[in-house]
């Protein structure tokens, strides 16, 4: 596992450099979700693929930017599922973006996630890493080295509200719930990048990030293996909760395809409790 974590640290600085120096235009290809790929998406994916090609404990990799599973080392123990550059459409307006990694042992499902990590490329590079039996650790990057900054622990109740999806396509009960949080005094914080939006809630003590089922996206937008399940481990280990719209833990999801999505809610205990009440899933 240490090799994998060290590799993620190296990847962070390589992708940071690519963001600063590479062409921001579109490539000629689409990813497997049918979205146009930026040259930076392709470049970041390649950086990660090359990096894990040298790590023998990695049996296979699954990328948000690739259709299937890429086998690397037959005797490896782990499969790394990753979103190389989440929120890449925000790079051209110079907002923060990120990379997300889920490290699975065995079948690709929530209960087999053993560790996860994400990198935030913002004014500074930061990295968060977690395993099943520890608090998430925050690292700050500088001159190609990461320094541990501390543990991440969520308060029982926060005051930030990051609500995703097109509002006109929300259900009435979701809209009512989100409005009720604003009535309680919650403040809107939503950049459209899952990594910085979830990072902000984690570092500012708590709140709610939601990407619900909508009429145009009944299964949500965010991908289970690369985005939803890795962040679920981070939120739970920080003392928060992460569920879908049926009240099931996101860490118990069993994707039937690598690119399956799920409605998802991440937050402190108070907000997730309020959500269950509003959705009638308590």
Q: Counting contacts by CB under 6 A, is residue 194 touching ligand AFP?
A: yes
Token pair for 248: 């099931």
C-alpha distances in Å from residue 27, one per residue of 38, 58, 100, 106, 229: 5, 28, 22, 34, 28
Q: Which of 56, 89, 155, 171 binds ligand AFP (CB under 6 A)?
A: 89
Only segment of 17-25, 106-114, 151-159, 190-198 that touches ligand AFP (CB under 6 A) = 190-198
**What stretch of H or E contains 5?**
helix 2-21
3-state SS assignment for residue 19? helix
Give whichever of 86 and 236 is closer to ligand AFP, judged by the CB atom. 86
Site track for ligand AFP across 27-66, x = CB under 6 A: --------x-------------------------------
Q: Counting contacts by CB under 6 A, is residue 250 touching ligand AFP?
A: no
C-alpha distances in Å from residue 39, one per residue of 20, 83, 125, 254: 13, 15, 21, 31
Q: Counting contacts by CB under 6 A, is residue 193 touching ligand AFP?
A: yes
Task: Report how many helices (DSSP H) and strands (DSSP E) the chain contains, helices first.
Answer: 6, 15
Question: In this structure, what are the phi and psi dihedrals at residue 210, rounded to the nearest 5 degrees?
Answer: -130, 140
Q: Which of 192, 246, 248, 282 binds ligand AFP (CB under 6 A)?
A: 192
Token pair for 124: 């500074």
Q: Counting contacts by CB under 6 A, is residue 164 touching ligand AFP?
A: yes
Residues that bind ligand AFP (CB under 6 A): 35, 86-89, 164-165, 192-194, 221-222
């Amino acid at each position: 596992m240490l090799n994998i974590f060290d590799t993620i640290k190296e990847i962070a600085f390589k992708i940071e450099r690519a963001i600063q120096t590479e062409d921001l235009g579109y490539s000629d290809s689409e990813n497997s979700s049918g979205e146009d790929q930026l040259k930076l998406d392709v470049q970041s994916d390649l950086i990660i693929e090359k990096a894990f090609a040298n790590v023998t404990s990695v049996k296979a990799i699954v990328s948000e930017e690739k259709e299937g599973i890429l086998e690397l080392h037959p005797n490896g123990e782990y499969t790394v599922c990753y979103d190389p550059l989440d929120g890449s459409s925000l790079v051209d307006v110079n907002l923060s973006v990120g990379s997300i990694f889920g490290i699975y042992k065995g079948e690709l499902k929530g209960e087999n996630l053993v560790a996860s990590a994400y990198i935030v490329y913002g004014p500074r590079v930061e990295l968060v890493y977690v395993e099943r039996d520890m608090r998430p650790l925050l690292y700050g990057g500088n001159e190609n080295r990461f320094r541990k900054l501390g543990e991440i622990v969520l308060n029982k109740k926060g005051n930030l509200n990051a609500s995703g999806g097109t509002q006109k396509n929300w259900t009435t009960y979701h809209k009512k719930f989100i409005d009720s949080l604003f009535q309680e005094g919650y403040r809107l914080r939503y950049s459209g990048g899952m990594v910085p939006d979830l990072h902000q809630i984690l570092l500012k003590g708590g709140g709610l990030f939601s990407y619900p089922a909508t009429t145009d996206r009944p299964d949500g937008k965010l991908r289970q293996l690369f985005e939803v399940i890795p962040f679920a481990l981070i939120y739970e280990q920080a003392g928060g909760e992460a569920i879908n719209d049926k009240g099931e833990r996101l860490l118990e999801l069993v994707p039937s395809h690598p690119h399956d999505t799920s409605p998802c809610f991440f937050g402190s205990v108070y907000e997730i409790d309020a959500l269950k009440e509003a959705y009638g899933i308590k």
